[in-house]
Structure 1
Amino acid sequence: MRRRVPALAVLAVAAATVLGGCSGGEFGGVYDLPLPGGADLGDHPYEVHVEFKDVLDLVPQAGVKVNDVAVGKVAKVGLGPDGWTADVTVEVNGDVKLPANASAQLRQSSLLGEKYVELVSPNNPAGRLANGATIPLDRTNRNPEVEEVFGALSLLLNGGGIGQIQDISKQLNSALSGNEPQIRQLLTNLNTLVSNLDAHRGDITQALDGLNRLSGTLNTQRDELAGAIDNLGPGLAVLTQQRDQLVTMLNSLSALSGVAVDTVNKSQADLIADLKDLQPTLTQLAATGQNLPKSLQLLLTFPFPDSTVAGVKGDYTNLFADLDLNLGDVVSNLGRSRQSILPQLPGLGGLTGGTSGPGNGVPLPLPTGSGGNTSSGGLGGLLGGLLGGGGH
């Protein structure tokens, strides 16, 4: 709220300022004169730098407001460090606390009123705006000027869009006259299309998210993609050089396929007959089931199959055996044990021991080693008795 100050007080302040300048102080012009009714800065104001693209006709001593309440003034308007933007220095009452991420806007008190700077607190305030802080360019803006609005309106009215509305209306009438059913059908189809798109908005969003992830992946692998594209040129050059060989290979492959097809067609009956002949063998192999694999397993591990591994302790197996290769002792032992593992032969009465006669034959004669008749002594006599006694 501005306070009314008598004109006499204003003149007194101006006279004091002029006298101060004459007494040795530096006078910078009318902008150095304090305006009556300005904001109360308090005892400890702080400065904030605000960057604007364009400050229009903002001047020093202009007001600084927060929620339409005057809290400070514009101290200086200068050029930014980059030489393209404006740097506005404002002084704010020390009792006014603003967040560090506050924004600034250049506003106008009325249609033709004065300009002032409005400081706005965001929805998510963070920290506190300190003395000497800077509000960057991305957090400032300005409203359009009255002159800009009138200029755009003048462009619209004088040969702009307003003058073309009549032509547009005539063209629309000409295009729609007599085509009402088609236009109605078009609108119906458009409504159906929009409804389907709305029903699949989740899938569309998911597809866009997937496309975003794909783009991110391609972006992370752009070096590999660039290398692959760079190496693609030499590869294409090699293929171009070997074009004749590739064409020849494909032609030969085509001829080979023709010969193979002809061979298969001519041998079709023989192949079918071979397959039919092979069917019984395959059937018997299938009927063996697990017997064939198990027998092969036992054959490969004989005489120690897998079932004997559990009885082996350590890395060796103890075996105690007496092996007698004297055939006479073998036959004698068989006779004493009265057990026969040899078939009964005619004329010998069997080899089960005991008295002679059917079922009670005597053991075979033992070899004498005297060099007598080969039919009754030694291994020859044994074989002779076995073969001759049978009448074969």
Structure 2
Amino acid sequence: MRRLAPALALLLGGCSLPSLADVPLPGGAPSGPSYRITVEFADVLDLVPQAAVKVDDVTVGSVEDISLSGWTARVRLRVDKKVELPANATAAVRQTSLLGEKFVAVSPPTTEAARGRLSDGDTIPLARTRRGAEVEEVLAALGLLLNGGGLAQLKTINQELGTALLGREAEAKDALHQLDTFVGGLDRQKADIVRAIEALDRLTGRLAQQRAVIGGALDALAPGITVLAQQREQLTAALTALGELGRVGTRVVNQSKDDTVASLRALQPILDQLVRAGDDLPKSLDFMLSYPFPPNVTGAIVGDFVNLSITADLDAASILANLVAAAPSATSRSTPGRAATKPKQGGTTLPSLPGQLPDVCLPLNGILPPEWTPPDGCDLPEGCKLLAAGSSLPLGALVVPDTGILPQGTVFPAGTKLPAGTILTAPCLLAPVTGAVEGIVGGLTDVLTGGLSP
């Protein structure tokens, strides 16, 4: 023991204790110039003063003080003045290892560009701070998962899914292929879908701008809807009756179809005859309104008498010539196969209408064939032709009736016979009688015997 005492004294005498200035501050606090910033945390865990402040895992300062402001922890940091931090920097409470100490990590923002610079007295707000997960929290969550928190459900889902797909692998594979095709189609039409969504957005925007107008329209529509609701039973009954009417109409049409077709076929000859009548039908209706006088005779009717104008040519030479001339034959010429013209009083025949052929121009047998041409001196009007029955009917032509006897009003005398159905072209017809008589030229004998008549 005595030997150890001098040795211990010698050892202590040869060693000197270091000064406090040479001992580094705990937590890596800067020994030179520095600036202080305040960081707000919702939870600082077991962070203690003098803990390190690191940037990119390099210690640049230490925690000076931890205080509480309401439910927010305020941590004052002392950072080396050589370290420049952006004004929008973020801070987090982290752990050096699984069981290591806590420290504050300061880093530039990751979701936006760095801007500005932190200076003495600045604060990093609560919105830009966070903390790491504790080992106890990780182990607790793992224990909850392993103790039936979710694995049992996953096992049940896996077993039920395997049971459902057992023996249906082909159908499941086909469904996946169809789903892949569907998703691929959607991906190819992505631009169209985006345009449709944008158009729908514009539509909804315009509808939103016209919300007041739409609201007014809906309010104005409400009374009408109320009336329709009140008359719902009547409308339903009307629609039901309309359906029954449709069924009855269908039955009537089906039952009367044959009769309707027969009636239309029976109407066809009448319509054909009306087409053949042409302009004669409206002219007959016009004449019917003034029967028994022609339409233009109304100007000559004054009261209960009709004006008549007669012009008599009393040329002396013509009168003397007619007096000394031989009187016409009392009997009319008759031809075989043709009835004689009925004589009038005085032994004279009825005069023919202007433009008619004389009897001497007609054939002896009295029947004109379709190919008949008049002899010399018996010229027909230009374009007057006789067409065989069944030929195409020209405009304004006349068809000989079934009796074969021509009516009055043609260039042939009334009573002339032709084969039934023969067609006379329009130039063979005389101008219609108007009822106005301007004058009749004749000799004195005609005047005396009554040959001139209006």
TM-score bracket for the superposition, by shorter chain length: 0.3 to 0.5
Superposition TM-score, scaled by structure 2 size: 0.42
> Could you say which structure has the greater relative contact order, defined with CA pairs below 8 angstroms and 6 or more residues apart?
2
Structure in which a larger fraction of residues adopt helix: 1
Q: Which TM-score applies when normalising by structure 1? A: 0.48
